[in-house]
Amino acid sequence: MSNFNRYPFVEIKGEYTVSEGWEEISRKIIGRVSEIGRHKTIVAVEYYQGVLEEETTLALSTLLDPELVILSKDSMWSEEKVKEMVYPDVTDDRLFGFMTSLELDDFFDPQLLEGARKKIDSVHNGIVLVIGTGAACIVEEPDVLVYADMARWEIQLRMREHLVDNVGVSNRDIDDWMLLYKQGYFVDWRVCDRHKKKLMKRWDFVLDTNDRTRPKMVEGNGVLEGLRQTLSRPFSVVPFFDPGPWGGQWMKEHLGLDPDVKNYAWCFNCVPEENSLLLKFGETIVEVPSINAVFLDPQRLLGDEVFQRFGDEFPIRFDYLDTFDGGNLSLQVHPLTEYIQEKFGVTYTQDESYYMMDARPGAVVYLGLKDGVKPEDMLRDLQSSQSNGTMFDADEHVQAWPVRKHDHFLIPAGTVHCSGKDSMVLEISATPYIFTFKLWDWGRLGLDGRPRPINIEHGKNVIQWNRTTAWTRENLVNRIETVAEGAGWKEERTGLHEFEFIETRRHWFKVPVRHATSGSVNVLNLVEGEEAIVESPSDSFTPFVVHYAETFIVPASVGEYIVRPYGRSAGKICATIKAYVRRLNNHDLE
């Protein structure tokens, strides 16, 4: 039976009250209004994009019994104006856009704002409820500020069900939900994040409606304290599992997932921009976006040098790709840094690697081109497969490498690649994961019955044609070297390539191993062994137990920590793979 923890949480020390259900939540807000003791009290409820507006607004506007309700969307520009404003960032492409520089304030019509503020000024007694995305743009200093936050994976699920709109437009019924996602990715989440960061330290309450049936609310200072406690210890974010057209069966068996689901293709187990963080207050768990921890104190989490390079972005991503009894991933390539900056407004690109958690005999990874490949022939065949429906012969142009458990394949941007079927891949990469240029998808459809977007025009501009068999073998396949070893342990450098900013180290151990963050956030996965425990040599944090295949984050501020076999793995050989950001002047942190 799998002991994989699908719902890791951080237990928060301190007395904080969690209100559950709309009636209890409303009573808590009214209690705060009573404490303020004014004739007129302005309550602003700020929504992150993806909150179910109608039901949340109805519940609060009914139970708070306000004298006036101001819906933020009524003060925004017309939908036509909003669409015109965001078009340069949204574009006509189904998948790609440009990272917006807009602020949430830009969505509001100054005349309508003035009208809303005059209505607020006209009320002299009772509660004025200002509610919706941008509520705090209308009233900048409310008496009570409630922030309704939302995890992005839940937002995406709601988009697939056509339950939510993009900011400033009523477009949930659009046929292709991927267009909702794209506008969220390139516009909505950027403007909402910029707005959130201005408000975080002013939150009176945080509202969690990720579970549609059980809304919860906790004091804002409780959430901030919970995030601070999280940043003082190792922790895991909540993994998200998703099916796909090539998805497999390995995770069902080894991670204890629902056996009735057709397949699981992905597990996003360390993508703080997307994943949730569970904070346990007493007996109640509140779900917040894990990116909030990055926003609150990026230097404490990332380290000073990483923060100077990446700002308040978490630059390392871990996820799983399961193709056991599935199919090949799409043949793909990622953009070079200058290309992603010019075309999409992103500062760094998706360098990555495949660490093999498991593989059946005969499994392969497609990586690099074959010696003697002719670009014009390969591009002609790719274009023909796209326009004429002919089958592209990947084996004629792309090198296939046999794979075994614990192999590590390095994939700097510009390298043609994909995992074949019957593999379980731990993908270790830089964060901008949406920028995958699919070259060939093996003639299949997505789960929605549509052809998945093929990006040959982008791809041909970034393929590094000199990365052929000999170069790939020398530079990208199992570049493993022993760094240090002692009685019962060994440390190996496994990558990544010198073009990439991430360093990875594998530790084999049956005794305690001492690690040091050395100023950079560490991300680790237990790739061998049933259980291990992470401890502080100075008892600065509560021991943290991890299980096979779980990913965990060690904030830079933790400094030294020890990992040792635990429980059923005591005395047995375990292994972790660790990723961190290389120092600019040295590949090694140790």
Q: Where along the chain do its domains lie?
A: 9-230, 241-272+314-475, 481-581
Location of structure tokens 């891949």: 425
E strand or H helix that includes residue 531: strand 531-535
9-230 — its CATH code? Answer: 3.40.50
CA 368 to chain centre: 27
Q: Looking at residue 466, what is its pLDDT?
A: 96
Structure tokens at 496: 């990544």
DSSP label at residue 569:
G
Q: How many CB atoms lie within 10 A of CB 448?
A: 12
Residue type, 153: W
Contact by Cβ (8 Å): 423, 403: yes
pLDDT tens for the chain, 590 residues: list them: 579 999 999 999 999 999 999 999 999 999 999 999 999 999 999 999 999 999 999 999 999 999 999 999 999 999 999 999 999 999 998 889 999 999 999 999 999 999 999 999 999 999 999 999 999 999 999 999 999 999 999 999 999 999 999 999 999 999 999 999 999 999 999 999 999 999 999 999 999 999 999 999 999 999 999 999 999 999 999 999 999 999 999 999 999 999 999 999 999 999 999 999 999 999 999 999 999 999 999 999 999 999 999 999 999 999 999 999 999 999 999 998 899 899 888 887 788 999 999 999 999 999 999 999 999 999 999 999 888 888 999 999 999 999 999 999 999 999 999 999 999 999 999 876 678 899 999 988 777 777 788 899 999 999 999 999 999 999 999 999 999 999 999 999 997 778 788 999 999 999 999 999 999 999 999 999 999 999 999 999 999 999 999 999 999 999 999 999 999 999 999 999 999 999 876 544 44
- The answer to whether 332 and 434 have CB atoms below 8 angstroms apart is no
**Domain 241-272+314-475 and domain 481-581 have a common topology:** yes
As a CATH number, domain 481-581 is 2.60.120.10
What is the model's pLDDT at position 432?
A: 66
Sign, CA torsion 39/204/287/276: positive
Model pTM score:
0.95
For 209, phi and psi rounded to 5 degrees? -120, 25
Contact residues for 417 (Cβ-Cβ < 8 A; gap 6+)? 331, 332, 333, 354, 365, 366, 367, 368, 409, 411
Q: Look at residue 76 in the predicted model and tell me its pLDDT.
A: 98
Nearest residue to 52 (alpha-carbon basis) of 193, 172, 194: 172
Cβ–Cβ < 8 Å for 64, 182? no
Q: Which parts of 167-210 fold into alpha helices (H)?
A: 177-183, 189-199
Residue 528, Ramachandran bin (φ over 0: left; ψ between -120 and 50: alpha; else beta): beta
3-state per-residue secondary structure call for 280-294: EECCEEEEEECHHHH
C-alpha distances (whole Å) from 299 to each of 220, 304, 397, 540 are 21, 5, 45, 19
**Strand (E) positions, 231-387?**
240-242, 266-270, 276-281, 284-289, 316-322, 331-333, 352-359, 364-369
Q: Tell me how far apart the alpha carbons of residues 19 and 28 are, in angstroms, rounded to a whole number.
A: 7
Q: What are phi and psi of 336, to 5 degrees?
A: -70, 160
**Residue 8 token pair:** 């890791």
Strands 126-132, 40-47: pairing is parallel
Sheet holding 417-419, edge to edge: 398-402, 364-369, 417-419, 331-333, 437-440
- How many C-beta neighbours within 10 Å does residue 221 have? 15
Per-residue pLDDT at 585: 62
Q: 68: cis peptide before it, omega within 30°?
A: no
Return the pLDDT at 589.
44
Query: Which CATH number does 241-272+314-475 carry?
Result: 2.60.120.10
